[in-house]
Amino acid sequence: MTNLPTPANPLRIGTRASPLAMAQAHMAAAALIAAHGLEMAALEIVPMTATGDRIQDRALAEVGGKALWTRELDAALDAGTIDVAVHSLKDVETLRDARFFLAAMLERADPRDRLVVREGIAAQTIAELPHGARLGTSSPRRAAQVRRLRPDLEPVLLRGNVATRLAKLAAGEADATLLAAAGLERLGMHDIGTVQTADLLLPAASQGAIGIECRADDAATIALLRAVDHAPTHQAVAAERELLAALGGDCRSPVAAHAQWQADGALRLDAEIFSEDGADHMTGHVIVTDAGVVSGLGHRLLADAPPSIRRLFTP
């Protein structure tokens, strides 16, 4: 590999400044160091505060959607003040600006959710929560799934990074919350919460996946990043994101999608879409053989869905 980064000309890695985002940026840096035999000084991590991190009292849908997580990084990447951007792919818009290229994904971590309860509540599953418990979340998917399983539960808005949400839970703003298992693991919080099975709470598209973007015209950086791309993760997450594109889903749309490799080498994609209250629900799956199969599943789910679901999507 020629033109590798050096301490005199380091690769500038942009990331949100939250503890989880910083941990993920360091994971990306470690992968690049291992793949190319780089010195640590050849990489520079550039943290920045995203708009979404500053606004914590409203749902994303009210203030600009997932772009609030990527706006600052996109601007820095476009201006050339960073060379790559590291993202939690769950927080990245499905349709991206053509100026940017998703060159690599690191190997996916556990995509499932963990249930975390406040002190004094003994519950390891949604079914075990007390009647009428308040479940804090900002995710339409999680809110709809929980209300489908337990209509008596009350979803309440709970936003912020992992530490903030845990602090709000401890302060009694909610009785329980759901957090991504991958994020907790990356923060070293191995004993926080209880993993919920994917057959009850199908994960969000891209959950557990870290993506690394660069400028689409930067061939040297694309080649550098491709060395750390985990192809099975990339293919699975691409299928999930393709389904979102077919559905026209956004941050207001209660949708779950999870693609996983089967023992026979096939890639199976499971999908669910919901009404806001979870009362209406459509589910389906396909074996991913080509792009048309995935988009076809999305179109079928919407075609068969009642108006309470269709109005939340814009294919």
CATH number, domain with residue 41: 3.40.190.10
| Direct distance between the N- and C-terminal alpha carbons of the chain, in angstroms, rounded to an integer | 42
Question: Do residues 103 and 216 both lie within one domain?
Answer: yes
Task: Note whether 175 and 305 are same-domain residues.
Answer: no
282 by DSSP, 3-state: which?
strand
| CATH code of residue 254 | 3.30.160.40
Within this chain, do residues 147 and 85 fall inside the same structural domain, yes or no? no
Closest CA to 243 of 285, 207, 278, 275: 285
CB 284 within 8 A of CB 290: no
- Give yes or no: residues 20 and 95 share one domain: yes
The answer to whether residue 6 is domain-embedded is: no
Domain span at residue 164 reads: 113-195
Question: In this structure, is residue 189 part of a structural domain?
Answer: yes
Per-residue pLDDT 10s for the chain (315 aa) are 458 999 999 999 999 999 999 999 999 999 999 999 999 999 999 999 866 555 555 544 444 445 566 888 999 999 999 999 999 999 898 888 999 999 999 999 999 999 999 999 999 999 999 999 999 999 999 999 999 999 999 999 998 889 999 999 999 999 999 999 999 999 999 999 999 999 999 999 999 999 999 999 999 999 999 999 999 999 999 999 999 999 997 778 999 999 999 999 999 999 999 999 999 999 999 999 987 999 999 999 999 999 999 999 976
- Alpha carbon distances (Å) from 113 to 28, 44, 122, 156, 177: 23, 32, 18, 17, 10
Closest CA to 312 of 276, 281, 278, 258: 276
pLDDT for 70: 85
Q: 214 with 162, same domain?
A: no
Q: Is residue 204 part of a domain?
A: no
Which one from 53, 74, 83, 91 is the annotated catalytic residue?
A: 91
Same domain flag for 157 and 25: no
Amino acid at 201: L
0.85 exceeded by pTM: yes
DSSP structural state of residue 99: T
Q: Rounded distance, CA 141 to CA 203, Å?
A: 9
* Length of the chain as a residue count: 315
Task: At 118, give phi and psi (nearest 5°).
Answer: -75, 165
Residues 134 and 161 in one domain: yes
User: CB–CB of 87/73 below 8 Å?
Assistant: yes
Alpha-carbon gap, residue 279 to 178, rounded angstroms = 20
Structure tokens of 57?
């009292």
Helix (H, G, I), strand (E, B) or coil at 144: helix
Query: Is there a single domain that holds both residue 20 and residue 98?
Result: yes
Domain count within the chain = 3
In a domain, 277, yes or no: yes
Same structural domain for residues 139 and 104? Answer: no
Same domain, 149 and 129: yes
68 occurs within a structural domain: yes
101 and 81 housed in the same domain = yes
Question: Does residue 219 sit in the same domain as residue 71?
Answer: yes
Q: Is there a domain that residue 300 lies in?
A: yes
CA triplet 295, 104, 31: central angle to 5 degrees? 150
Question: Is 91 marked active-site?
Answer: yes
Distant-in-sequence, close-in-space partners of 219: CB < 8 Å, separation ≥ 6: none
CB 115 within 8 A of CB 178: yes
Cβ(68)–Cβ(55) under 8 Å? yes
Residue 200 forms part of a structural domain: no
What is the H or E stretch that residue 26 is in? helix 19-36
Query: What value, to the nearest 5°, has the Cα angle with vertex 120 and ends 173 and 207?
Result: 60
User: Has residue 292 been placed in a domain?
Assistant: yes
- The two structure tokens encoding residue 221: 């950086």
